[in-house]
Amino acid sequence: MPHTEDALLLASHIGKQFGGLSALDDVSLHIRRGEIYGLIGPNGAGKTTLFNVITGLYQPSAGGFQFNGMHYESGKPHLLAQAGIARTFQNIRLFANLTALENVMIGRHVRTRAGVFGALLRDRGTRKEEHAITVRARELLRYVGIEKPAQTLAKHLSYGEQRRLEIARALATEPLLLALDEPAAGMNASETENLKTLLKTIRTSGVTVLLIEHDVKLIMGLCDRVAVLDYGKKIAEGAPEEVRKDPAVIAAYLGGGGD
């Protein structure tokens, strides 16, 4: 077991079976506070499954994890959200018929006294809180670079804007850990460059980032440390330049046809 003082997330021997398929097999990892930690691997390697375990969507078949000093074994997404994990999804999940601003405001309700039900009742305290939420949501839209289309329905935003909106919504929960599942998928080169800058800004703000990415170049240029999954097993972990040279990693990518 590694030293735990600087660990925000410490996953220990996680396994996840789907019928006869072992999607995760004895995966342990150690994410330090304040770093960008990359998770790469060929398609089907188990990256999203690992996200689903640590965000509480899936119950692991073996092992467990510690987040911010608390131990978890079973799936409780709302508890992990409250504990400070926020995520985006590989397939964008926004409220298509709500505005960009409203999508961020919904994220914000995780952190407020009244919560979503209070917002429906709208007593005086709630209205005051609602105003603060709107102000903060606008700030977050500005932060991710989509302030202008605040009143645009999510479905009418460009792909890159929708990805940024998902990040703004996740940040609205004031997470300790922001987990992003292939945020650059489908982005063009300039959108990817903007995303890179945004993720660096987020790291500077003190939020730890867990990044699943397809785009190995992006991962290598951005992450402090990287883990590589292949067929549900962690085959390498370390600084990007070490991992890049690792023969097992090269074999996984070349052998598996890349990702």
Ligand X SMILES: Nc1ncnc2c1ncn2[C@@H]1O[C@H](COP(=O)(O)OP(=O)(O)O)[C@@H](O)[C@H]1O
If one asks whether residue 159 binds ligand X (CB under 6 A), the answer comes out as no
* Strand stretches in 109-224, DSSP E: 177-181, 208-212
> Residues in contact with Mg ion, total (CB under 5 A)?
3
Please state, in angstroms and rounded to a whole number, the distance separating the CA atoms of residues 180 and 122.
33
Q: Which is nearer to ligand X, 98 or 185 (CB)?
A: 185
> Residues in contact with ligand X, total (CB under 6 A)?
11
Q: Residue 31: which H helix or E strand, with range?
A: strand 21-32
If one asks whether residue 49 binds Mg ion (CB under 5 A), the answer comes out as no
Among 45-53, 116-124, 222-230, 231-239, the segment contacting Mg ion (CB under 5 A)? 45-53
* Strand stretches in 33-99, DSSP E: 36-40, 62-67, 70-72, 85-87
If one asks whether residue 49 binds ligand X (CB under 6 A), the answer comes out as yes
Q: Which is nearer to ligand X, 47 or 225 (CB)?
A: 47
Count the alpha carbons within 13 Å of 87 in the hemisphere toward its beta carbon.
25
If one asks whether residue 48 binds Mg ion (CB under 5 A), the answer comes out as yes
If one asks whether residue 173 binds ligand X (CB under 6 A), the answer comes out as no
Binding mask of the shown chain, residues 7 to 26, with x at each position contacting ligand X by CB under 6 A: -----------x--x-x---
Q: Which amino acid is at 148?
A: K
Give me 118's structure tokens: 């209070």
- How many other C-beta atoms are found inside a 10 Å radius of the C-beta of residue 109? 19
Residues in contact with ligand X by CB under 6 A are 18, 21, 23, 41, 43-49
